[in-house]
Structure 1
Amino acid sequence: MARPRKYNVTVQGLFCSTDARTNKVYWRYKHPITGKFHGLGDDKEEAKAIAIEANGRFAEQQTNQLFKIKERVSENFGLSITVTTWLDRYIKIQEDRLKDGEIKLNTFKQKITPIELFRRECGLMELQSIGAKDIARLIENYKKKGQRRMAQVVRMVLIDVYKEAQHAGEVKPGYNPALATKQPNNKVQRERFNLEEWRTVFAAAETSQRYVQNSMLLAIVTGQRLGDIARMKFSDVWDDHLHIIQEKTGMKLAIPVALRCDELSMTLKEVISRCRDRIISPHILHIHHTTGLAKRGGPVSSSSITMAFSRARDRSGLKWTEGTPPTFHEQRSLSERLYRAQGVDTQKLLGHKNQDMTDKYNDDRGKGWVVLAV
């Protein structure tokens, strides 16, 4: 029976027919290889979903077969494997490195976007046919969008992709087109905080959940990164120290609870005491009011802290005309500058391996005045 004209079927391989006795429409799928029809019943949406899924699987099988053929040709005739074939192996190498503790989870996650970009743009090309011009084009796209930091990450990851390919013998020794590209300049546009601005934002956070102000106090008094602050627990405090294993570096840091930020007139012990309330929770920063996504007493995620801080900053009425508004992370720089003025060893406090990195946090990016001594 012919397909009714009133049904506009756009899914490849999906057909329908009307039963003259019941006037019901039934759906069938034609196997793209055998040509055999398979009945799918009278539910149109379900039939479409099945047909789309089947088409996707057949396409995936054909793609995998194509890659296998290309790889066998490469092995037999000495040609380079495709970018996609190597990226599949590269990801497996990175997963093994993550499992063995050679790289951190955040480092692994950082590689995913550049890898998928490279796969999408150059997946069917031979790995050794890629030139510096191809890599530069990918980097330039991010630069045009103003995403210079992302441009740097793409270049860094693709350099590593080719380093691993060299180690595996898939490209010639020294062949690394990403390394031949120019390192994108990434001048930081974000403004620093000064103490008065911080106090203004802190006051604006008064109407937010209590954890917002508490997170700001912890950021200044401990000088730690957002992720480490979000993971702090009351059980981390013993022997009069707050114990932190820094997520980024793995450094084990014990901060005395007697540590005092003179400008805030508060010790770490006082901040932690402020975080203790009638809510029973193991987390120093915890949810105070149950919402659809979070329960009272539960941990506060890094993203929630960031968003709540940004809302308070925007409510404060402050304007930053020289660059983008300071983020939660900028409190780490403010903390470093306040403590350095007190004579505290800020390199140890921030957990940096070298003083040069600490000095970058000490740069106020033109916020302060140079005072001439007379």
Structure 2
Amino acid sequence: MFFSEWLSTYTSLLVERGLSNKTIYNKKIWLDRLDEKFGHRMLHNIQTSELHQIIRAKALESHASAAKTAHSVISDIFSEACSFGLITHNPAAPIRSPRTSPQRSRLNLNEWLRIFRAASVHGFQYTYLSMLLALITGQRRGDIQKMSSDNIRDGYLFVEQEKTGAKVALPLSLHLDAIGTSLNDVIRISPASGNILRFDCGRAATTAALTVGFMRARRLAYPDNYWQGNPPSFHEQRSLSERLYRSQGVNTMRLLGHKSQYTTDKYHDSRGRDWVFVDQ
């Protein structure tokens, strides 16, 4: 069987797994790259060394996360091919998964407050509203961008997560003690109907605008060389939210919409930025 033929079948298998559209889209990027390189080749003729070169090339470009994704996708493609009896061994099996180390700096509360003040003074309304929603709800940027009054009913803000499809109902009474603000407080200062985050013209703010707005506020508050590693992105507010809520006693696995505590614990890792206080 040609590699391109198998990829067509494999894509159908991904859909059958019930993965989200976004996850399939992200995997499809690598499927297209692999199809371009190996599509005309017979499946059983693709060698371990060729696959290793693709993964290693990404790692050498300092794209550790992309290299890890490539390894995962490639391994699964050939593992499934083995299961179907199309090949007798998985050529990706001997390849070790690239090691990744966190490159992006974590945020602490004092830094967030300083960035938030900069956003409040110099930014657009959607910038500081998006920061409040990020910290108080603990949700991802894409889910925050879509938040609307249409999703509020019976005292809850309903969020269907774009990445995983997880459904999280956040009570408007949800209160983050660290900043003395509740979700309802943010809703009160938001537009009465429609999208919560909007441009001045009334259109819904885009995810790119949220990213750029946060970056500009961060740079007003701190120079880029202040951070150890890459400066924190908008997404780092999700980790800070998890850490603050866990210290408050909130079940953060449910808040973040995770299926396992292991995933939540990765967000809880401050990467050496928080002090651990020892009780007497």
**What's the TM-score once normalised by structure 1's chain length?**
0.70
Distance, in Å, in 2 between the alignment partners of 1:179 and 1:305 is 40
Partner SS state of residue 275, structure 1: coil
Amino acid at match of 1:274: I
Distance, in Å, in 1 between the alignment partners of 2:65 and 2:45 is 27
Q: Cα deviation per residue 1:91-128 (whole Å; 9 max; x = unaligned)? A: 4x25xx53x67121111111223223223333333211
Higher relative contact order (CA 8 A, sep 6+): 2
Q: Is the 8 A contact 1:243 1:253 kept in 2?
A: yes
Q: Cα deviation per residue 1:291-336 (whole Å; 9 max; x = unaligned)? A: xxxxx22222222211221122122224444211111111011111
Dislocated runs of 4+, deviation >6 Å: none
Identity of paired residues, percent? Answer: 37
Partner SS state of residue 189, structure 2: helix
Moved more, 245-254 or 113-122: 113-122
Distance, in Å, in 2 between the alignment partners of 1:181 and 1:123 is 21
Q: Is the 8 A contact 2:174 2:183 kept in 1?
A: yes
1:128 corresponds to 2:33 = no
Q: Is the 8 A contact 2:19 2:164 kept in 1?
A: no
1:273 aligned partner: 188
1:346 corresponds to 2:252 = yes
1:149 corresponds to 2:56 = no
Q: How does 1:145-294 map to 2 (within 5 A)?
A: 145-172=61-88, 175-206=89-120, 207-276=122-191, 281-288=193-200
Distance, in Å, in 2 between the alignment partners of 1:311 and 1:151 is 29
Amino acid at match of 2:274: G
Number of aligned residue pairs:
278
Q: Is the 8 A contact 1:257 1:268 kept in 2?
A: yes
Q: How does 1:38-57 map to 2 (within 5 A)?
A: none
Distance, in Å, in 1 between the alignment partners of 2:158 and 2:277 is 38
**What's the TM-score once normalised by structure 2's chain length?**
0.92
Question: CA RMSD of the aligned region, Å?
Answer: 1.9
1:84 aligned partner: 4
Q: Is the 8 A contact 1:191 1:320 kept in 2?
A: no
Q: Cα deviation per residue 1:334-354 (whole Å; 9 max; x = unaligned)? A: 111111111111111111112
Distance, in Å, in 1 between the alignment partners of 2:275 and 2:83 is 52
Q: Is the 8 A contact 1:195 1:334 kept in 2?
A: yes
1:168 Cα offset (Å): 4.2
Point out the structure with max Rg over C-alpha.
Answer: 1
Distance, in Å, in 2 between the alignment partners of 1:244 and 1:116 is 31
